[in-house]
Structure 1
């Protein structure tokens, strides 16, 4: 894996001196391997590299240990791929690496869930240097279109405490952990921002569009995440996977951005990589003092945003519903 690092970006609008030291974080962009031991070895090597670079927390892509399942619709036994939250291989990987290196390790798994619908949860976890689970967030928004048939594998996360913000002891940061499709929704970033988050981590699995193979969504994907960081004053940490997996070719390009919209460090499209960046977290405060989006909101005017989705008019008044591309 290549290693790409970024020093703290200078604060362009500092009004009050900061006493917080930069937080060094890292992500691992990896390629899935059919041999489970080989895959774990590659991920542990990436985590070790990040730890050797001084990262205090390392973040891994969506459904870390599985071949991305949802390029094809799931069948009756789709949940056979699921694992227990703390009793499966993903937690074991994160906990072992966290203890070995004395750092926080984040990962993503297909979480087994009780029920008769044959579905589980798409769940992000954060493990402490002691190997303890200190954060769990279930993906809220579930894609339903060609190549990303996640509704046949995953239930949406619950509406109770949907946007948890974690401030684990030993890590001077407030972190939210939504997942992939959640990153397209400005409401998600805003909810986390109002909950006090400074960093959003989006474990991701995104790549080609099977029905439109010449359409490259990578620029749009990055632009919307960076923009949501700007309008909500957030650092964005986005670990994607890379390589061909069935119907989808994942385009890597993992990145870390800041509230000013600067991409601090970015991985290539076609290589495994470890990204390391120092985050000056008080730049969230600086930016929101200069552009006080949160202070000047008008929630009293946002009625349509909180109405139930009308399947007959999902695009709004005056626009007929059309079929999702399958």
Structure 2
């Protein structure tokens, strides 16, 4: 009985100390307020003057020995609907394993009565077409980190009906005795950012040369790359393992170093036509063979390569090795990731490429369920460009360009067709009920629980 009383008393003392000793003076807060969903999960708040990179007040939230605490610094900014605003804040955490989920910023656009406003942006019309869409909160993205401080920033067009923006700097679900410091917060009107228009192309072709050689198969693509260039494509995607198709070569016989004869041929085409090329080859790296996609720039240089991670039975039994990295490459027009054929059957590859920053994912592919390719595009809000050897009439994967909704905005229906689509990489994909979904992926996705448990 005495032990229970002492435990209860210690909790009361801790609660009183928390409520009395953690409230900064209001004259230091510049309009910021301390909020929590419930008092029993309220963390501790503190303002550190002349602190951080901005040499301004750092708004600190920390947890104690309890888990699951949840609170935010909140401030309302006056804005003008229809204008563009750049939000920026710096964040530094201690003892936080997943800052992307625990320490995030949220901007809610409201009218003068504190209500959500109508969404001015086109929403995803493939699903839930009824009803009026309200503008859901925006979640600024994590950018670079310097000296332990991570920048969260983005540019937004304030909805027409909005007169204020409610900024919340959260700290939630973090371990006991951890903390976050927020510094140098700003929301400033800026000019409208330019669109980032890119023309994506794909070739629908079975590259079976008369010579039935690897070299001959490469040369089959020359006029189609030229056609893509004539259509002003920035990127053209070609097929998977093109040097083996119809040649009768084994994986080992078709494999070559990267760079090698085939990659050098396509480097010449890329340089000649001033565009990016993605093509699927077989790579020989010491004693190992990989199914790869390579990205070549307009200068003819190899920007990067991806080694196929998920191998079907034939490749595994044939001695091909899987890759284990998910690189994303910066190009002149945006960030590009690659996956190959069977990778599209599994959500992890496209998701990891998206986490790493991919805006466009290329898919050289022999065959795949088209609904899975569509899912990879829509669940990650990326443009996906596929090039296949599968006949259009077989009701299987298409040579196509998929948009953020997973729809084929262009698809090839005959052999030798070069399809092309013009897209804006700065376009946000707004969904009913969730808003800009891509910005929410890193805020909402779980940790890889199965992998973490070694299963």
TM-score normalised over the length of structure 2 = 0.53
Deviant stretches of 4+, over 3 Å: 13-18, 36-41, 148-151, 249-252, 284-293, 305-309
Aligned to 1:44: 222
RMSD between superposed Cα atoms in Å: 2.8
Aligned 8 A contact 1:241 1:251 in 2: no
Which whole-Å deviations, capped at 9, do the CAs of 1:212-255 have from their partners, x for residues lacking one?
xxxxxx6xx11111112111111111111246xxxxx9966211
Alignment of 1:1-326 (within 5 A): 12-13=122-123, 16=157, 19-34=194-209, 35=211, 36=213, 39-67=217-245, 78-89=251-262, 91-115=263-287, 119-144=288-313, 148-157=314-323, 159=324, 162-168=325-331, 171-206=332-367, 221-242=369-390, 253-268=398-413, 271-284=415-428, 286=430, 289-291=435-437, 293-300=440-447, 302-308=448-454
Deviation (angstroms), 1:132: 0.7
In structure 1, the gaps of 5 or more residues are 1-10, 207-217, 244-248, 310-326
Which whole-Å deviations, capped at 9, do the CAs of 1:112-152 have from their partners, x for residues lacking one?
1212xxx40011111111111111111111111xxx44441
Q: Number of residues paired by the alignment?
A: 262
Q: Secondary structure of the residue that 2:295 maps to in structure 1? A: strand
Aligned 8 A contact 1:230 1:261 in 2: yes
Aligned 8 A contact 1:50 1:274 in 2: yes
CA separation of 1:107 and 1:285: change in aligned 2, threshold 3 A: same
Deviation (angstroms), 1:32: 2.7
CA separation of 1:140 and 1:19: change in aligned 2, threshold 3 A: same
CA separation of 1:252 and 1:263: change in aligned 2, threshold 3 A: closer
Aligned to 1:323: none
Deviation (angstroms), 1:180: 1.0
Larger proportion of strand: 2
In structure 2, the gaps of 5 or more residues are 1-120, 124-134, 136-155, 158-191
Point out which structure has higher relative CO (alpha carbons under 8 A, 6+ apart). Answer: 1
CA separation of 1:279 and 1:46: change in aligned 2, threshold 3 A: same
CA separation of 1:88 and 1:307: change in aligned 2, threshold 3 A: farther
Which whole-Å deviations, capped at 9, do the CAs of 1:64-114 have from their partners, x for residues lacking one?
2321689x9x6xxx412211111222x122111111111111111110121
Which whole-Å deviations, capped at 9, do the CAs of 1:259-278 have from their partners, x for residues lacking one?
1222110112x523211111
